[in-house]
Amino acid sequence: MTHDQPAQPALRVQGIQKSFQDLQVLRGVDLDVEAGSIVALLGSNGAGKTTLVRILSTLLKADAGTATVHGHDVAARPGAVRESISLTGQFAAVDEILTGRENLVLVARLRHLKDPGAVADELLARFSLTEAGGRRAATYSGGMRRRLDIAMSLVGDPPIVFLDEPTNGLDPQARIDVWKGVKKLAESGTTVLLTTQYLDEAEQLADRIAILHEGTIIQDGTLAELEALLPPAQVEYVEKQPTLEDVFLSLVGTSARKES
């Protein structure tokens, strides 16, 4: 393994192209992700977000272009890339027959950590799964399963984490829990690349937002930069209506609110 190269961005994607048969999914993607930032890859269904993530996590080979992850070329040094990343795919990748704790211990053993049990217990606590840790993952709710899934990705503190649609199919409360987890992650210096089709999710979480459309990144910037692309908003006075989400969350009596 080579040492960290802080001068380089955590991810550098240059001219990545990928086709499936006749369908050209990525037509030359360029993207830099600074170490320690959260970048949201925003795009509609089928925009190629997952394809890009799969290329960056060595699951798929690009047809053209280069990508370096943590200073390692994904095509030339996939082993070194795998040492530096973790992937949370679109569908929770947990072993349903094992308990939550056993899932974490398994990943810790596969990452060759010293004390897999302690690592598992620490992550269970961090994701509020300590009580459920002894139950089989098959008995978990969607939100718990997703939390376990993300916890499994954090075993061994990989410097770069890919989250592919981390809140897809979750209820609002579970979504907020996941968001909190992602924010905490970035606070500890982890680089996060997440894909989403929810605009509010990108707005909530990301330092920078890259919009993937028809196979290329058409815009890449901070939220303020993206907003500045449109003419300044006209000031209008309207009654502030609570959103359905506000209503739902107050009815189910949660204290966890969207931080505005």
Partner 1 sequence: MTTHALADTRALTGRSLRHISRSPDTIITTAVTPIALMLLFVYVFGGAIDTGSESYVDYLLPGILLITIASGIAYTAYRLFLDLQGGIFERFQSMPIGRSSVLWGHVLTSLVANLTSVAIVIGVALAMGFRTGASVGAWFAVAGILALFTLALTWLAVIAGLSAKTVDGASAFSYPLIFLPFISSAFVPTDTMPGPVAWFAENQPVTSVVNTLRALFDQQPVGQDIWIALAWLVGILVVGYVAALAAYRRRIS
Q: What is the 3-state secondary structure (H, E, C) of 183-223?
A: HHHHHCCCEEEEEECCHHHHHHHCCEEEEEECCEEEEEECH
Applying CB under 8 A, which of residues 62, 107, 119, 144 lies at the interface with partner 1? 107
CB of 80 to partner 1, least distance (A): 8
Applying CB under 8 A, which of residues 95, 171, 203, 207 lies at the interface with partner 1? 95
Contacts 24+ apart (CB under 8 A), 249-252: 249/172, 249/173, 252/173
H or E element in which residue 239 lies: none
Strands of 72-73's sheet in order across? 23-33, 11-20, 64-69, 72-73
Contact 33, 40 (CB under 8 A): no
Contact 26, 52 (CB under 8 A): yes
Span near partner 1 by CB under 8 A; candidates 63-71, 101-109, 188-196, 221-229: 101-109
| Residue 189 Ramachandran class (φ > 0 left, ψ -120 to 50 alpha, else beta) | left
Q: How many residues bind partner 1 (CB under 8 A)?
A: 30
89 binds partner 1 (CB under 8 A): yes
Applying CB under 8 A, which of residues 17, 24, 37, 106 lies at the interface with partner 1? 106
94 binds partner 1 (CB under 8 A): yes
Q: Which is nearer to partner 1, 124 or 211 (CB)?
A: 124
62 binds partner 1 (CB under 8 A): no
d(CA 104, CA 119): 8
Applying CB under 8 A, which of residues 3, 112, 114, 240 lies at the interface with partner 1? 112
Phi, psi of 95 (to 5 degrees): -90, 110
Q: Which is nearer to partner 1, 57 or 68 (CB)?
A: 57
Quick note: the x/- pattern for partner 1 over 41-60, rule CB under 8 A, is ----------------xxx-
CB of 124 to partner 1, least distance (A): 18
Applying CB under 8 A, which of residues 11, 13, 41, 87 lies at the interface with partner 1? 87
CB of 179 to partner 1, least distance (A): 21
Q: Which is nearer to partner 1, 64 or 97 (CB)?
A: 97
Q: Please report, in angstroms and rounded to a whole number, the separation of the first and last CA atoms in the chain.
A: 42
d(CA 35, CA 254): 34
Span near partner 1 by CB under 8 A; candidates 62-70, 95-103, 205-213, 252-260: 95-103
d(CA 135, CA 66): 43
Q: Which is nearer to partner 1, 96 or 200 (CB)?
A: 96
Amino acid at residue number 186 = A
For partner 1, the binding residues (CB under 8 A) are 57-59, 61, 79, 82-83, 85-87, 89-98, 102, 106-107, 109-112, 136, 149, 152
